[in-house]
Amino acid sequence: MSLAHRRPTAGNQAATPALHPLDRLLGERRPIVMGILNLTPDSFADGGLFVDPATALAHAKQMIANGADIVDVGAESTRPYPGMHPVSADEEWARLIPVLPQVVALGVPISIDTMKAEVAARALALGAAIVNDVWGLQRDPAMAGVVAAHQVPVVVTHNREAADPAIDILADIEAFFSRSLAIAARAGIARHRIVLDPGIGFGKTPAQSLAAIAGLGRLRAFGLPVLMGLSRKRFINAVVPSSPQDRLAGSIAGNVLAVLEGAAIVRVHDVAETVQALRVAAAIRAAR
């Protein structure tokens, strides 16, 4: 599964295709761990902890030391309403610029977690390697063009304005992905540069989030890598009442099961614990 990557070059001269870092990671055929770096005051699990640039950089370094393959940097909370406070592109960028260049310099692929094409373009220009769009190319009409111009992978996340308990959530996710893939194709994004994320907690009831995780095998029918972002999410509280900070065990259980069902990437807050759990699970399977 190729994710070949070329950056635009001066004078529109053709550049020699190079293997994208995500392509290399997928080629290792092991679970890829994406560590979360929220530069936000209002994220549901760690809002306010990493607004200081020095603290944010130290956290990124620690996640990499603990085994993170990718660092996903975001500067606007995408938590469900109420509690999510939209910010302008300028404010989002003001949170990113003191940290992003230093995190890029750490040497692992950096994903920019944004729903704004303007912010994505600025981040890619500074060396970010992946776009993580929680609205799956369907919120900002310019996003697909930015991804296509930079020829980078994009994480297409399923989302809804509000949860509807009456719908078949897997059918809704499939229809959403089909629309996103059509948008990507029209913009010139190669299909093999797309990662699918069922959007656990986004516009879903806890029961629907559980169904989306359980139905991961069905989503793999698209033939694309699947990212699972269930770390500390609200569905865990529906199973075992707990605060976001007390959902480590539930997050690990979900991520191990997701990987066993074929998830290629897991997006997590707790890198060291997740890496250990995934390696032990892999060792047990290898010993069969």
Q: Is residue 14 part of a domain?
A: no
| Residue at 13 is within a domain | no
107: domain CATH number?
A: 3.20.20.20
158 within domain boundaries? yes
DSSP for 143-212 reads HHHHHHHHT--EEEE---SS--TTS-HHHHHHHHHHHHHHHHHHHT--GGGEEEE--TTSS--HHHHHHH
pLDDT for res 11: 44
Residue 2 located in a structural domain:
no
Q: How many CB atoms lie within 10 A of CB 118?
A: 17
Q: Mean pLDDT for each 10-residue chunk of the chain (288 residues)? A: 39 59 95 95 58 92 98 85 74 95 97 98 98 98 98 98 97 98 98 97 97 96 98 97 96 97 97 98 95
pLDDT of residue 43: 52
- What is the predicted pLDDT for the residue at 149? 98
CB atoms within 10 A of CB 218: 15
Catalytically annotated residues: 233, 267
The pTM (predicted TM-score) of the whole model is 0.91
Give the residue numbers spanning the domain of 205: 21-286
Count structural domains, the chain: 1
